[in-house]
Each structure stands twice: as C-alpha cells, then as structure tokens.
Structure 1
C-alpha cells in the first residue's frame, strides 16, 4: 500500500477507532432509540453519534436519488413504528415533504440540516425562497448539524447524554481531519484546472469550500431538465478552456455527460471521465464509501487525481482500507 500525506495530529488508528461499532451493555441496548433516517448521510451521522444507544434504518441506499424518492408502504410502516425520524430537510426529500410534515404531528421528526444558519447556505437556483440542500459536501459545514442530532437523541434518551456527546466529539474530530486532508490535496490542483463539471449541480458547497468553479448539466434538483442549449454551452466551455475531465455521479444517469464528451470530440477536443462521484447517495453498506467520511474522501481523492494533483490512486482511502 502506498504511503500518503497524513493528517496532522490525527492518527489513522484514531480515525478507525472512531468508526468502530460500539458494544452496547444489555441494559442500555434494551432502551435503544429505534430511528429511521431518510438518507444514508443522515443515517451515518445518527449511527456515529448514537453508537450503542440507537438502531438506525436508512430509507435510501446506494445509488438512490433523494430528490425523486417517494415513500413506499413499507417505509410508512417503518416510520410510524419508529421512535423518531431523522430527515435532511432543505427540500432535499421534495417528494416526501408533505408526508414528513404530517408525520411530525404524531411523532418526533427532526429535519437536521434545517438547523443550519441560513447565512451559511447557498440559495437554490431551482426553487424560490429555498436553499441548496447539498450541505454534506463541505465537512466544516456538515459538522454544524451535529448539535441537533445530539439534542434530538438526548431528548429521546436522556441517560445517553454522555455517550452521545463523546461520540459527537469523535465524529467532529474525524470531520476536521477530512477537511484538512481535502484542503491539502485539492490545493495541489492548478488554479486554472479547478473546474468541476458534473451531471447535476450538487457540488456548490464543495466548490465554495475548496475554491473550485462548479458546473452542473442539470440544476440542484435532478428533477430539472437539461436542455440542448445547456449541453451545447457546456461543450463550448470544455473546448474553449481545454478542460481535461468531467465526472459522472452514482445516483444520476450518465447520459448527459456522455453527450458532452461526444460533443467535445466532434470539435476535436478529447475529454475523459475523471471518475464516478458520490453526490446524493453514499456507497454500498459495509464499505468505506458507504460512510459519509468515505464518500467525501473518495470524491476529494478522485477529483484531485483527475485534475492533475499528484495523489496516489488509493489516496487517504487506500490507507484506511489497508488498516481496516
């Protein structure tokens, strides 16, 4: 396994220890919070903070688009039987919003990202008076949701307060380490090459955090349509600026990205697919990419390498996998 830049003051062992599943004592296990989370990113945060005090089910798995997701009958049963539901909010689960509002009159529903300071949010280009919901793309912003999860779990299980607070502190430490690593490797990309072109506009917070220009074929929501004029304009941008790579997303069709590549080729410019990024969903359960830490780590390393940074293929991800 190749050696990589280490995050200052944070050991690999410490990061892995923070990700480990805690062993519950029988007395506390019996009073676990039975929680349902809408997205994988929210479920991961609740699991990390709740530890042995929670049992968490995520409704949306790998490759599932939350913008278009509608609750199934089994989802409704699971949510109505749970102790609490953790949603993202900010209109990410657009098709579920009315149901979640109604459910909140009967049992606790916590819209975690809606507790963020509006001054830190980016306005939505698709919906008037709403914000871009993709806040998990910036580690420093995402950890600002942690206090709401701690508050919610402590409200549900006051005896778990110390456990929740300790786990939250570890999660924040891991997120800060990820932020340091991300700034380090992404700063190696030449300024003129810091352009991220993807299937839909899910990376605005990433761009703001790390100094990248972000271009999406579709808008913030995958429900918006990409017109021929938009694709034609982006093809001209690729050619004029000689951009080397574009990126596909695991939860969005690559049809429009393929059209861009073909359009650029017709004008004599070769564009590569820089890799597949996790945007609205994490990787498969049980994998490193199936955690929030892993999905962002993967994205950062993939983007940096594709755009010219001297980052080994495994990146930080390779080190953590090798030690697991």
Structure 2
C-alpha cells in the first residue's frame, strides 16, 4: 500500500491530474459496485465510469493493485464511500486530495449524528450506509451535485437522470415495505455472516446478528459461534444467511453447531452485503440487489 501511495504522489507532483478536455466525457473512478451503479445512472452517456471493485469483492479487505494507479491518476473525479469502508485505500485518497485531486466521499452528504456508531472503524461509524434507502437518496442528490459542479454544461442532464433514479429508489422503498410486512414482527431476526445489515434492521425493524461483527477483517471465534448458536436456539430462528462477499464456511460452521445441539437451522440463501451481484443481472444493480435480499430474507423466515 505504501508503494502505491508513493507512486501516486510522484505522478501527482508532475501533474495534479489528467483532466478531460471540455468535449470529452468525465473520467470517473468509483470504489464499490453500489457507487458505480449510482454514478452510471446519474452520469449516463456523459461520463466514463471505471469501478475498482467488482461483484463479490469485499471492500473491507481490498488492496489497490499497481494496475489501479493509472485509473486513479487519470480520473477527473474519484467517488468513494468513506467512513473507512475501503480500509487503507482511504490513505491513498487523502494523499491525493492533499495534492489537488478531486476525491469525494459520498458519506459526506450525511449528518453524522444520525449514523450508527461502531468501534471497529477509525471513523467510529458503521459504514454500511447503502442499506438505508433514505441515505441512498441523499447521497444520490449529492453525487449529482458534484457531477454538475465538475461539468456545469451538462447540469440539466445530470439532474434529469438523478430524478429518474430517485423515482426508482422511492418505488423500491414502497416494494420493500410491502414485502417485509408479510413477515410477522416476531420473525424479524436476521442472522448473517457479518454484521452489515444494521441500517437495514433499523429501517425495517429487524433484530440483526452478525457472526463476524461489522468488519470482515475480524474473524469469528469459537465463542462467537457458541453465543449465536444459543441465540438461534433460544429465539427459534428458522434460517441464517450467507453473503456473496464473505466465505460461507463460517455460517456452515454455525449451522453445524446448532445441529450438534439437536436443533435445526437452514441456510436461507445468499445475500448481497458489501457488493452487488454480477454485472448484467438484476442483482448487479442497487435496486435489484435490495429486492433480492428482502425477498430472500422474507421467504426464508416466514
């Protein structure tokens, strides 16, 4: 990581960036797949978006490769989540910002007083903010504003795309609420591989339990498995869930521990937590990902 910082700084000392000509598309680099989807929806054919992280990639553990350096150096704008979701990449972005590169943490759009606290991150906040649909609405407006600031000639275009995307998000919230209302309150217990769903839980009144805690950089131990095994038995939890960006072995170990206590818990399906599904699929979009997650959860627990 230090080598990458040094390379970037050397390049930035030569030039503060390779800004696009006025007739060219904005060159934008994004980190997570959720942000990539948002920027592509707002930017449309006026931008060229390059996402660093693909489907199934865990941003907590992501390490920038030397191949990422040219993408970051040549970008007109870099959008990242912030709140230390991207781990040590934050160090790179902060160094670049100090040299004049336009790096934007979309979490800056949020009132930090409303965030869920977490001692596991240097920011002291849970960074899984995309699972609050209202937050996603606020951040969408912020990203649109930043694109218009960088490219004022196309401000009306970005605003129209923003409004169309926000309409999809509001429709999503309505559909999610209707689906979740199929599930009785006493069934709203979500046990997953790591604790990525607290904002979801707060939004839709679920009790959320993660085997690994908020960051996948911390591994589940024997005591964690024992504690959650007892929780599952005490609360008669019907199903637990694996995640696309976290190895399934921890949840399978939990399932085995429950069975060893003469109880049964099924694996209810795979959820998308820190990354979207494969590009070109419904789950490869923010809206499709969230619909898939809620349908999987409700169908397995009701």
How does the TM-score come out when normalised to structure 2? Answer: 0.90
> In 2, are the aligned partners of 1:67 and 1:93 still within 8 Å (CA)?
yes
Residue 75 of structure 2 corresponds to 82
Q: CA deviation at 1:211?
A: 0.6
Residue 14 of structure 2 corresponds to none
Write the mapping of 1:1-324 to structure 2, written as runs, cut at 5 A.
30-104=23-97, 105-127=99-121, 130-308=124-302
Q: Distance in 1 between matches of 2:254 and 2:119?
A: 22
Instruction: Tell me the C-alpha RMSD between the 2 structures.
Output: 1.4
Q: Distance in 2 between matches of 1:96 and 1:201?
A: 21
Q: Distance in 2 between matches of 1:177 and 1:147?
A: 17
Deviations 1:122-151 (A, max 9, x none): 001413652111111121221110122112
Deviations 1:129-179 (A, max 9, x none): 521111111212211101221121112110110011111111111111111
> In 1, are the aligned partners of 2:83 and 2:121 still within 8 Å (CA)?
no
Q: Distance in 1 between matches of 2:22 and 2:301?
A: 47
Q: Greater shift after overlay, 74-83 or 116-125? A: 116-125
Q: Say how many residue pairs are matched.
A: 281
Q: CA deviation at 1:119?
A: 2.3
Q: Distance in 1 between matches of 2:119 and 2:220?
A: 14
Q: Distance in 1 between matches of 2:157 and 2:122?
A: 40
> In 2, are the aligned partners of 1:245 and 1:274 still within 8 Å (CA)?
yes
- Report runs of 4+ in structure 1 exceeding 3 Å deviation: none
Residue 11 of structure 1 corresponds to none
Q: Which runs of 5+ in 2 are unaligned?
A: 1-20
Q: CA deviation at 1:286?
A: 1.1
> In 1, are the aligned partners of 2:42 and 2:162 still within 8 Å (CA)?
yes
Q: Distance in 1 between matches of 2:123 and 2:103?
A: 22
Q: Which runs of 5+ in 1 are unaligned?
A: 1-27, 309-324
> In 1, are the aligned partners of 2:83 and 2:123 still within 8 Å (CA)?
no
Q: CA deviation at 1:188?
A: 1.2
Q: Distance in 2 between matches of 1:102 and 1:72?
A: 16
Q: Distance in 1 between matches of 2:201 and 2:280?
A: 29
Q: Distance in 2 between matches of 1:60 and 1:40?
A: 6
Q: Greater shift after overlay, 234-243 or 245-254? A: 234-243
